[in-house]
Structure 1
């Protein structure tokens, strides 16, 4: 074997192996960097969620934890309702996971979002019409937008209410902290709302959560005298429910009582903005039906919301609650309507006594609208929208700690009962 002398080895070129690659001298391999791909949608949502959470105070995060726990409780109740109360009592398979949430008004919102208000030239001039124009377009529009991302209609509606509910409880907690300096005041008000008897309607594809997600930040903006933001959010709330006009009246009263500077009064024209959505909706309905108040007349045809004096409405509701003319489930709901009206009147009296005039205007207009129909309908659901009630209960419980225990012991059974009544298709109010 030939061995290269040492004096030649130093100056010799590097040897190559059978593959022709240089073995003595190692060169840094040439790498081609790939163009970095943008983050996927799930990463964007995760990043957005982290950004939002970092901007929240510890008190806000505590409210959100409470909100999430109560949502889990609702979902557990819905899961059990599928098995305990099937449509076919002799069946062996539970209904779809979305079936408990597909009840009553949900179908009105679904039909509007999917088909519009007057599909195929159909309308109130036809027999069997579903009177869908009684429902304002805000929630159906949001549902249609969400459906472009989430193909399942019910899932899209549930996501709207889930997201809106989180915004609503955060706003309620912040409003409460403006009135009550106690560290746990905001969480206490959120707890009372989330465990109220009709809290199920904050979790389903109905308008309550979305309305509160707009109305409560609007009220919070008004408390901070940000009148343009308050008016804009109130206008959006009016697209969801006519109750937005009651909120607009309350904010207008608050504006009149608190406007001091010339800069405040320059914001006066903003107070008329919330009336615009209702006017545009009436104009749209007039173009199709020739009736400027078509939405009101649809409520009269479908839900007996024609005008009666308050004592007539009370008498008719009492008659249906206690004289045996209704089936037991309907009689129970009429009894709940009477109790909710009494709570509303007591709340109104408390607000007047404390000279909380804007809140009194909001509650008073709500009671007038709900208490002047043929009979009471949906007043227990409307209590969800009475944020002064939850703040008043929070203040009471902070002064008297036993109130919290009493509320939870009395309200929790009703909350479970009403949730099961809705999820099992037996709701009657």
Structure 2
């Protein structure tokens, strides 16, 4: 009898059924907490806008309030909408000073959202959500929630909700910085390129990425990845080429800034002196003088932040802040320095770390920031100059 017939029959094991991986939620508990804080502060700003449209009507005898969203249609928004709707050079308003990233996104969203103002607010709402998530992950699980709360309570936080570039810029810049810290240089460079299309500040971020690359340790720093860091220069060069083709001037955007916003080069001490005079010599309206005082205070805050970063040898972040301060501090006078604090994420992470030392520090920060944030929001939403 064949040996095979004498063998015990084998019991076949059924093939293993592949187990479906439980998909990890993309949002961890910190993310969900941050988003709740973000949405609550957005509701608070909307409530503030509701009150402003009724307390500050278009005329003292108005019997009907302005439309709610019209409160956000202030100052630079008119330039962004004009560029998105008609392109550059439609009017002689020096609009070429504004980089094309935000107007291009606005024009694309307008295809789906017919109202221009609503489209701009939607861009800031979505990109702001991305930005606060990236800030929380950059700061880490201990500091993330505090850093986001401090940012959203900062004096100029209203600009993160309006149809301005701050939220969109941070939505690219913060994930780019997070990618650089993880030594994903190609992805970081790509995101930074989008940031440079939105604001010239993206070039400061590109310089910080280069410094971070040079000081990085481990296998992530491979010299063959260095060419990726030239990618952020492409959008500004392309925009300059476009302006040169239309005007014959490679630096037309810079010259438009000089014509429209007095951003001609002056030494830092001249810029400080001119801003000081506007703030305290009594030659300007009180509202504008107060804003100049805020400009001086924000510059001192930035210099203090820079010193702290240098002391801690955080060279890349110090490069980013230093270039920002140089650009803002070498005009005829300071303009939009308080608003620029929104883009200094080391400031909000550093403040969050400081509040961990004592609960009283957190209370003091919130008690100071909350009224200042409301004051700036009311000033901006009522059509007054707010930096």
TM range (shorter): over 0.9
Match of 1:112 among 66, 79, 83: 83
Correspondence for 1:169: 132
Provide the C-alpha distance between the structure 1 equivalents of 2:246 and 2:183, rounded to a whole number of angstroms.
Answer: 39
1:316 correspondence with 2:287: no
Provide the C-alpha distance between the structure 2 equivalents of 1:310 and 1:172, rounded to a whole number of angstroms.
Answer: 31
Gaps of 5+ in 1: 1-51, 123-128, 178-182
Give 3-state SS (helix, strand or coil) of 2:273's partner.
helix
Match of 1:239 among 197, 206, 219: 197
How many residues align? The count is 365
CA deviation vs aligned residue, 1:208-231 (integer Å, no higher than 9, x gap): 000000000000000000000000
Answer yes or no: is the 8 Å Cα contact 1:259–1:265 preserved in 2: no
1:276 correspondence with 2:234: yes
Provide the C-alpha distance between the structure 2 equivalents of 1:184 and 1:68, rounded to a whole number of angstroms.
Answer: 21
1:205 correspondence with 2:144: no
Give 3-state SS (helix, strand or coil) of 1:291's partner.
coil
Provide the C-alpha distance between the structure 2 equivalents of 1:411 and 1:54, rounded to a whole number of angstroms.
Answer: 33
Gaps of 5+ in 2: 1-22
CA deviation vs aligned residue, 1:189-236 (integer Å, no higher than 9, x gap): 000000000000000000000000000000000000000000000000
Provide the C-alpha distance between the structure 2 equivalents of 1:54 and 1:230, rounded to a whole number of angstroms.
Answer: 24
Provide the C-alpha distance between the structure 2 equivalents of 1:420 and 1:264, rounded to a whole number of angstroms.
Answer: 50
Kindly report structure 1 stretches of 4+ aligned residues shifted beyond 3 Å. Answer: 259-263
CA deviation vs aligned residue, 1:302-348 (integer Å, no higher than 9, x gap): 00000000000000000000010110000000000000000000000
Correspondence for 1:426: 384
CA deviation vs aligned residue, 1:155-194 (integer Å, no higher than 9, x gap): 00000000000000000000000xxxxx441000000000
Q: CA deviation at 1:259?
A: 5.1
Matches within 5 A, 1:8-407: 54-119=25-90, 129-177=92-140, 183-258=141-216, 260-261=218-219, 264-407=222-365
Provide the C-alpha distance between the structure 1 equivalents of 2:386 and 2:66, rounded to a whole number of angstroms.
Answer: 21
Greater Cα radius of gyration, structure 1 or 2? 1
Q: CA deviation at 1:399?
A: 1.6
Give 3-state SS (helix, strand or coil) of 1:98's partner.
helix
Correspondence for 2:10: none
Q: CA deviation at 1:53?
A: 10
Correspondence for 1:25: none
CA deviation vs aligned residue, 1:27-83 (integer Å, no higher than 9, x gap): xxxxxxxxxxxxxxxxxxxxxxxxx99410011100000000000000000011000
Give 3-state SS (helix, strand or coil) of 1:335's partner.
helix
Provide the C-alpha distance between the structure 1 equivalents of 2:70 and 2:136, rounded to a whole number of angstroms.
Answer: 32
Q: CA deviation at 1:98?
A: 1.6
TM-score (ref. length: structure 1): 0.84
Give 3-state SS (helix, strand or coil) of 1:91's partner.
coil
CA deviation vs aligned residue, 1:389-409 (integer Å, no higher than 9, x gap): 000001000122211100011
TM-score (ref. length: structure 2): 0.93
Answer yes or no: is the 8 Å Cα contact 1:63–1:187 preserved in 2: yes
Give 3-state SS (helix, strand or coil) of 1:426's partner.
coil
Answer yes or no: is the 8 Å Cα contact 2:183–2:220 preserved in 1: no
Provide the C-alpha distance between the structure 2 equivalents of 1:399 and 1:148, rounded to a whole number of angstroms.
Answer: 49
Provide the C-alpha distance between the structure 1 equivalents of 2:117 and 2:31, rounded to a whole number of angstroms.
Answer: 29
Provide the C-alpha distance between the structure 2 equivalents of 1:138 and 1:263, rounded to a whole number of angstroms.
Answer: 30
| CA 1:262–1:72: 2 relative to 1, 3 Å | closer
Provide the C-alpha distance between the structure 2 equivalents of 1:303 and 1:55, rounded to a whole number of angstroms.
Answer: 43
Give 3-state SS (helix, strand or coil) of 1:117's partner.
coil
Q: What is the root-mean-square deviation in Å for CA atoms of aligned residues?
A: 1.3
